[in-house]
Amino acid sequence: MKRLHLFILKSFLGPLAMTFFISLFILVMQFLWKYVDELVGKGLEWYVMAELLFYASLQVVPMALPLAILLASLMTFGNMGEHYELTALKAAGISLPRIMKPLMVFILMVAGAAFWFSNNLLPVANLKLYSLLYDVRQTRPELDIKEKVFYDGIEDFSIKIEDKDRETNMMHDIMIYDHRDKLSRNSNVTIADSGKLQVSEDKKFMILTLYNGVRFDEKVAQEKRRLRDRELQSFRTDIFESQTALIELQGFDFTRSDEGFFKSSDRMKNLVQLRVDEDSIQKIKTMQVTDLSERMKRTHFKRVRYAFSPGQKNAIDSAMAEVTVVPLDSAMSALTAEKQRNAYEGALRAARENRQMIEDQNRFIEKEETKIVRHQMERHRKFTLPFACIIFFFIGAPLGAIIRKGGLGMPVVISVLFFILYYVINTTGEKMARESIWETWQGMWLSSGILLVVGAFITYKSSTDSALLNSDAYTIFFQKLFRKRRKLVKAE
C-alpha cells in the first residue's frame, strides 16, 4: 500500500468512527424519546434496558452509517483542502479521483458489509427488538397510587386514598372496592383510617396492611340476584384494628413471549425468506381470485345445474339453438304482479349476496396485495442501504474538496441538510410505494436516483476545480459587484 493511500485512510477512519457513534447515539436517544412513556415506571432490570438499547442501536445503523460516511468524507477532504494538502497533491500531478481511490475501495467494502448486515443481522435485530418491546408494553407499571384518585391498576380492585406520607409510605383515609364478584361489583367495600402497601420481591403478591377500619360485605346468593329479593339478602359489617390481606398480582412481572409470533413480519426476514413468502402470498392471492370467479359462476347458474339431470341439460342446450330470445320487458309483462315482485326480490337478493361476497373477497385480496408490496419494499431496502453509503461518499468527498472547511462546523451543517433531503425524499417514495401509487422500485429508489445525479454533478464540479461552494469566491464576487456599483454612483 502506498504511503499516500495509508495517510488518506488514517485521515478518514478517525472522523468516520467518531461521526458514526455520534449519529448512533443521537438516533438511539430519539428511539428512547419515542418510547419513554412505555419504559418508565415498570421496574425493568438494567439488563433488559441494556438489551433493548443494543437492539435499538442495531436497528438505526441503516440511518447512522450513510450519515457518518457523508460527514466523515466532508470533514476529511475539507480538512485536507483547508490545510492546502489537496492543493499540494494536485500540484504534484495527482487528480482528485486518484486521491479518492483508496477510500473508494474502502467504501465499496463498507457497502458490502452493509448489505450483509442488512440481510442477515438486521432481521434478527428487528425480531429481538420488537418482541422485547412488545413484552415491555405488556408489563404493567409499578404500583403508584395517587392521592384522591381511584387506582384500578390491580385487577378486580379499585383503591382510593386521601393522603400519603412519602417518607413512611403510610396512606390515610383508604377506600377499597373489591370487584371479584362480577355480578355484584360494589358489594364489598373496605374503609380504613390508615394503611401500608408493599409488594413482594417476586412482584407476584401485594401485601396490604390496614389499621382502624370497617369492611362492608353484602352477601348475595346466586338465586337471589333480582331486585325484588333484596330484602332476603344478608349484610355483614366487620370492624377491625388491624388487618393484613395478600392479593395476587398479575402482569407486573416482566415475562418474555415466544418470538415465533413475530417472524411473519416482512422486517424479520432475509432475501431468501422474502422471495419464498412473496411467492406463497402471490399464489394465495391468485387462488382467491380464481375462487371468486368460480363462486360467481356457481351463484349465477346453480339453479340450472341442480334443477336438471345431465340428459335434460343436453336436451335444453340443443333446444336453445332454436329458441328466439324474448326481450326482458316482454317476458316480465307476461307474468302476474306477484310473480314479478318475487322475481325482482330474488334478483335483488342475489345481487346483494354477490356484492357482499365480492367486497369480502376484495378486502382479502387487497390485504394480500399489501403484504406483497411490503415484501417487495423490504427486498429493495436491502440494497438501498449499501447504495446510499456509496452515494453519500461521492457527495461528501468532492463537496469537502470544494468548500475546503474541516472540523464540525460547515461539514455538519451541509451533512444535515443533505441527509434531511434524502430522508424526506425517501419517506415520500416509500409512502407512494406502500400505497401502490407508484411501482415499488420507483418509490424505493427515488431518493437514491436523485442523490446519484447530485453526486455526479458535484464530483464533476470538484474535478474541474469549480468554486461552486467556495465562500471566498462568493465574497470576491460580491465585493467586485459593490465596487462597480460605487463607481457607477460616483460617475453619475
Burial class (CB in 10 A: 0-12, 13-18, 19+), 212: middle
d(CA 262, CA 268): 8
Written as nine digits, the cell of 78 is 475539507
Number of Cβ within a 10 Å radius of residue 405: 21
pLDDT at 25: 92
DSSP SS3 for 149: coil
Q: What is the DSSP letter of 87?
A: H
pTM: 0.69
**In this structure, is the dihedral angle defined by the CA atoms of residues 265, 269, 271 and 272, taken in order, positive or negative?**
negative
pLDDT at 306: 46
Residue count (the chain): 492
Name 147's bridge partners. Answer: 161
Alpha carbon of residue 9 to chain centroid: 37
pLDDT in tens, 369-403: 888 888 889 899 999 889 999 999 988 888 888 88
Q: Which amino acid is at 145?
A: I
Average pLDDT over residues 177-201: 77
Domain regions of the chain by residue span: 3-139+379-463, 157-248, 262-376
pLDDT at 11: 87
pLDDT at 185: 60
Listed in sequence order, the residues at least 6 apart from 394 whose beta carbon sits closer than 8 Å to its beta carbon are 455, 456, 458, 459
* Distance set, CA 246 to CA 153, 209, 215 (Å): 16, 9, 16
Residue 218 gets the label, from left (phi > 0), alpha (psi -120 to 50) or beta, of: beta
Average pLDDT over residues 179-196: 77
* Distance set, CA 88 to CA 18, 28, 36, 77 (Å): 27, 41, 52, 13
Query: Which parts of 404-466 fold into alpha helices (H)?
Result: 410-434, 440-463
CA angle 458, 415, 76 (to 5 degrees): 75
**Pick the residue with more confidence: 140 or 264?**
264
Q: What is the 3-state secondary structure (H, E, C) of 39-69?
A: HCCCCCCHHHHHHHHHHHHHHCHHHHHHHHH
Q: Residue written as cell 465499496?
A: 108
Listed in sequence order, the residues at least 6 apart from 98 whose beta carbon sits closer than 8 Å to its beta carbon are none
Q: Is residue 406 within 8 Å of 82, Cβ to Cβ? A: yes
**Pick the residue with more confidence: 146 or 433?**
433
CA angle 8, 11, 17 (to 5 degrees): 125
Listed in sequence order, the residues at least 6 apart from 48 whose beta carbon sits closer than 8 Å to its beta carbon are 132, 136, 254
Backbone phi, psi, residue 40, to 5°? -75, 150
pLDDT in tens, 196-214: 877 777 667 778 888 888 8
Average pLDDT over residues 77-106: 83
Q: Is residue 453 within 8 Å of 459, Cβ to Cβ? A: no
pLDDT at 110: 93
Give me Rg for the CA atoms of the chain. Answer: 37
pLDDT at 473: 62
d(CA 41, CA 141): 5
Q: First vs last Cα of the chain: how many Å apart?
A: 65
Alpha carbon of residue 126 to chain centroid: 10
Burial class (CB in 10 A: 0-12, 13-18, 19+), 118: buried
User: Which range has the worst mean pLDDT, 68-77, 337-346, 362-371?
Assistant: 337-346
Number of H helices, E strands in the chain: 13, 5
**Pick the residue with more confidence: 252 or 192?**
192
pLDDT at 22 over 80: yes
d(CA 278, CA 400): 43
**Pick the residue with more confidence: 244 or 492?**
244
Average pLDDT over residues 444-467: 83
